[in-house]
Amino acid sequence: MSQDIHDPAFVAALFDRCSTRYRWWSAIASFGFVDRWRRDCVGRLIGQRNIGRIVNGEVGGKPFPAPQIVDLMSGSGEVWPHLLDAMPKARINAIDIAPAMHARAQQRLHGAPGGRISHTRADALDTELQPEYADLVVSTFGLKTLNHDQQQRLAAQIAHVLRPGGAYALIEVSEPRGRLMGPAYRAYLNRILPLIERLFLKGGRDFSMIGTYTHSFGDCTDMAQALREAGLTVSMERHFAGCATSVAGIKPVAKPAAQA
């Protein structure tokens, strides 16, 4: 392929074309796992939020009931139901680059609780974000379209926007390493899904890009390193034998300088 598949304009156009069927296709193609993995990601976010409340070995008071969450590469808000189930009073700022995903998200906002969710169309890597205003940062299934440098820029953005003690969790479809699962999953992504798309979506080849992106992404190992280099704590987990991986952690609170 001669085109740069990591070019933000290419990615935005691809998701624009996928937008009407994205939710339906991702649920069917993953046998429902995609939504379970979103829930797992939010579970990790809550776990890290609790770790972020530990100061000097002591857990602080109750978590703030209305946290400010930033949802990066939000699509049309597929993770919001899980965030609001866990934190009904949360406020969410969502960012996505694709105009059609943005339009669909805006439609969903009409049913959203009390104007607490906003959606911005922007490149999550370049947009200027207010420093240290987010209690939590989440991102589900946007990482695979980012190359190594872009993952480093995203890690820097997360470190920039999180307040000290704030937590993040990110999840992405990945290539499992097992001797059985690896080849089987690759065959599914690279052969069976494209065939289904050609047959049922009139020769379409957009959703099939998931195989190309997943192969170039690998798993969350590089992202974990980028987050560490950005000054965040990182723990990585595998989901369903490595068919997805997630990274989660906190922005450590700086220790007060020792008194002279």
Ligand X SMILES: C[S@@+](CC[C@H](N)C(=O)[O-])C[C@H]1O[C@@H](n2cnc3c(N)ncnc32)[C@H](O)[C@@H]1O
3-class secondary-structure state, position 235: strand
Long-range contact set of residues 185-188: C-beta below 8 Å, sequence gap at least 24: 185/243, 186/211, 186/215
Angle formed at CA 243 by CA 240 and CA 245, multiple of 5 degrees: 90
Region binding ligand X by CB under 6 A among candidate stretches 7-15, 58-66, 128-136, 189-197: 7-15
Q: What type of residue sits at position 172? A: E
137 near ligand X, rule: CB under 6 A: no
Region binding ligand X by CB under 6 A among candidate stretches 92-100, 112-120, 160-168, 238-246: 92-100
- By CB under 6 A, name the one of 30, 52, 67, 75 that touches ligand X: 75
* Cα 62–chain centre separation: 26
Which residue's C-beta sits nearest to ligand X?
Answer: 75
- Indicate the residue among 11 and 223 with the shorter CB distance to ligand X: 11
Report yes or no: 108 and 77 within 8 Å, Cβ to Cβ: yes
CB of 208 to ligand X, least distance (A): 13
| 155-184 residues near ligand X, rule: CB under 6 A | none
Residue window 109-128: x/- pattern of binding to ligand X, with contact defined by CB under 6 A: --------------xxx---
Q: Which residues make up the interface to ligand X (CB under 6 A)?
A: 8, 11-12, 15, 26, 38, 73-75, 78-79, 95-98, 101, 123-125, 140-142, 145
